[in-house]
Amino acid sequence: MNGRLILFFWDLLYPLVVVLAAPFWLLKMIRRDGWGTGLLERIGLYDRDAELERTGGVYLHAVSVGEVLLALKLIEKWRGETDEHFVLVPTTATGMAVARERVPDGIRVVYAPLDFGFLIRRIMKRFTPRIVVMVESELWPNLIWQTHRLGIPLGLMNARLSPRSGRNLTKMKRYVSPFLELLDHVGAPEEEDLFRWQAIGVKSEATVLTGNVKFDPAGAALSKKRAEFSEMLDQFDDGPVAMAISTFAGEEEYLDSAFREAGFQSVIVPRHAERREEVTRALGGKVILRSQFTTPEGGEAFVIDSTGELRDWTTHADVVVIGKSFFEKGGQNPSEAILAGVPVIAGPHMANFEPLVSELKAAGGIQIVTTRDELISALKKIPNDQVAAARTVLEKHEGAMIRTITLFS
């Protein structure tokens, strides 16, 4: 199907979606402390004159916290190699909060504009980037189309495409391929990703196997222990720390119970911090919240209800259990815990991180459990060589950061 025709219908439907979703979107922004953080930038209104903007450089489109953290690590490494200029463009309030908190001096941070053609043209003319890089697989029709029309090279970095997403996009190939064929560069983490992108319309000459930047031992953003975190954890006296990361509804009480039975101090890190009240209820109210820390009386679960701190909390754990892998499907990223030297246990639903998880399992670098009894047994019997085996698997991605920088330089 012709790309212009698809864009015509997109431009008709997208405003309706924005209007209908606006109340829910604004409510979410308020719940995530995003109100008053520069949201007018989403409709092209900025706090400085266009003439004062630095032009050229790299425009990095990063959606939320994970993508922003990855973009920040890329910027740090890239600036060490060249004097490149960057504009970092998060979409969500949580992503924006992390970007503004951690961004180095000299980096411009603005909200991503809504995907209206005139807004995309305005921001591109405002910053005139030499290249636009979308972090991971975030695709917007007008962002791609208008950037291409302006003659600005466009690419995807760390462009993982799961089998499920690949199948879904294949069903929509006639609608997505007119846009995907406009991409100039796609850095694929695995060969399977490379082939899936090519199958749905990306030009073969545009795809490059870079490895996964998240799994690059040299390029990954490593966690570090914080004295503040240690001081909190030291006040709990219920044994070694089992940390459930990025959990979803139903997992908190399930994992908390297993942790206690196995003799561990329970630490729960919900995927969304604003679920703190829901998680507190699920755990029977016997919790200490990181945001309202008080001295434990004994027997409480520790709930980390903060944003952007997960990486550093991970390094304080004795074992990490991956959320969204027990009752939800897809899993979360196990590499940060591995790189922090912490053994990892996951439930049976880790499809979003294949083939990595299968490779880790085959090498003895991760324990996959399917029942509560298996989880308790795994917690009690963690192999001494599990972390070393896992790091060996990640070594195949070494150099992914440099290869990604080279691709877009």
pLDDT higher than threshold 90 for residue 21: no
Element (DSSP H or E) covering residue 397: none
Q: Are 215 and 335 in contact (CB under 8 A)?
A: yes
DSSP category for residue 294: -
pLDDT digits (tens, 9 = 90+) for 302-350: 999 998 889 899 999 999 999 999 988 889 999 989 999 999 999 999 9
Residue for token pair 């961004």: 103
Residue 40 — φ and ψ, nearest 5°? -65, -20
Q: Distance between CA atoms of 116 and 14, rounded to whole angstroms?
A: 8
Mean pLDDT confidence for 36-49: 80
Would you tell me how many other CB atoms lie within 10 Å of the CB of residue 195? 14
Mean pLDDT confidence for 59-77: 92
pLDDT digits (tens, 9 = 90+) for 172-188: 999 999 999 999 999 99
Residue for token pair 């246990």: 345
Q: Distance between CA atoms of 101 and 380, rounded to whole angstroms?
A: 38
Top-confidence residue, 93 or 207: 207
pLDDT digits (tens, 9 = 90+) for 233-259: 999 977 899 999 999 999 999 999 999
User: Collapsing DSSP states into helix, strand and coil, what is residue 295?
Assistant: coil
Top-confidence residue, 376 or 1: 376
Helix-helix angle 141-149:117-127, to 10 degrees: 50
Given this model, what pLDDT does residue 37 score?
56
Q: Are 294 and 205 in contact (CB under 8 A)?
A: no
Look at the pTM and tell me if it is higher than 0.85: no
- Domains of the chain plus CATH, in order, are 38-219+400-408 (3.40.50.11720), 227-395 (3.40.50.2000)
- Going by pLDDT thresholds of 50, 70 and 90, the confidence category of residue 43 is confident
How much of the chain, in percent, has pLDDT values that exceed 70?
Answer: 96
pLDDT higher than threshold 90 for residue 38: no
Mean pLDDT confidence for 125-149: 94
Element (DSSP H or E) covering residue 227: helix 227-233
Residue for token pair 């997208």: 14
Q: Are 306 and 320 in contact (CB under 8 A)?
A: no
Rounded to whole angstroms, what are the CA distances from 177 to 157, 171, 194, 268?
18, 11, 15, 41
Q: Distance between CA atoms of 371 and 345, rounded to whole angstroms?
A: 12
Enumerate residues 6+ apart whose C-beta is below 8 A from 347. Answer: 322, 325, 326, 327, 331, 368, 369, 370, 375
- Going by pLDDT thresholds of 50, 70 and 90, the confidence category of residue 132 is very high
Give the mean pLDDT of the chain: 91
- Going by pLDDT thresholds of 50, 70 and 90, the confidence category of residue 220 is low
Given this model, what pLDDT does residue 32 score?
59
